[in-house]
Chains A and B, each alone.
Chain A
C-alpha cells in the first residue's frame, strides 16, 4: 500500500542552525501538508501546499519557515534559524484529488533543538 515517508526520523540541531525536513508524499497526490506536535501538546497545522504554492498557513508558519517541492516527488520543510521552541515532532501529510477527504500521514520527524 502506498505510504508517505519522512526523513530523517530524528534530527538534532543547535539553536540558530538551518534544518530541512524531507517528505515523499504518495505519488499521485496533489495536496501536501505539514503539521507539528510539541511534546504533550496537540497536533497543530503549519501549512498546506497545492499547485506549487502555499494555499494556507497558520500563525506559527512565520518567515523562518518555508516549504518547497523541488522535484516531482519530494516535499520539504525548511526552518532557517531554529529556536528551542521548534523542538517537536513534524508530520507530513498528503491528499489525493478523489474527494475522499483523507489526509495520509507520514511517521514523523522528531526535531530536537539544543
Chain B
C-alpha cells in the first residue's frame, strides 16, 4: 500500500518570499508522484508530475519539485510567491504498474500575506 504525508497543514508566507511545501511518501513498489492545487471553489488542477528521468521537475505557475528517492520525498518549491498562489496543495502518488488510483496527502493550505 502507498501513503503520503504532508508535514505542514498550513504555511503562511509573505508575498515574493520563497516557499517549500513538504511531501514524504511510503510505498513498497515504484510510484509516480504528483502535486495538485485547489483554488477556492474549484477542482484539483495538476501542477506537476514526476514519472522518470530528471529528478527536478518544473510545473505551471513557476512551481518546481524535486524527487528524492533515498529520502522518499517530493517537496514543492517556488522562489517567489504571489497572492494568487493562495490555495490548497495536495501531494499524491500512484503505482507505476497496476492500480491507477491516486493516493493523496492531507493537503497544505498556503496563505500568502501582502
Contacts and interface: CB of A to CB of B under 8 A. Distances in A.
A103 B106 contact: no
Contacts of B100: 31, 33, 48, 55-56, 95
A18 interface: no
Contacts of A55: 100
B43 A42 contact: no
Contacts of A108: 43
B102 A103 contact: yes
A96 interface: no
Contact of B101 (A56, A91, A105): A56
A107 B41 CA distance: 7
Question: Interface size bucket, B side?
Answer: 20 to 34
Interface string B77-108: 00000000000001010100001111111110
A42 B107 contact: yes
Interface in B33-66: 36, 41-46, 49, 51
Contacts of A41: 106
Given A41-B106, A43-B90, A33 B101 contact: yes
A48 to B, nearest CB: 6
Contact of A48 (B45, B49, B51, B101): B101
B51 to A, nearest CB: 7
B51 A101 contact: yes
A106 interface: yes
B106 to A, nearest CB: 5
Interface of B: 32, 36, 41-46, 49, 51, 90, 92, 94, 99-107
23 contacts: A3-B43, A33-B100, A33-B101, A42-B105, A42-B107, A43-B90, A43-B104, A45-B103, A48-B100, A56-B99, A56-B100, A56-B101, A58-B101, A91-B43, A95-B100, A101-B51, A101-B94, A102-B49, A104-B46, A105-B43, A105-B44, A105-B45, A107-B41
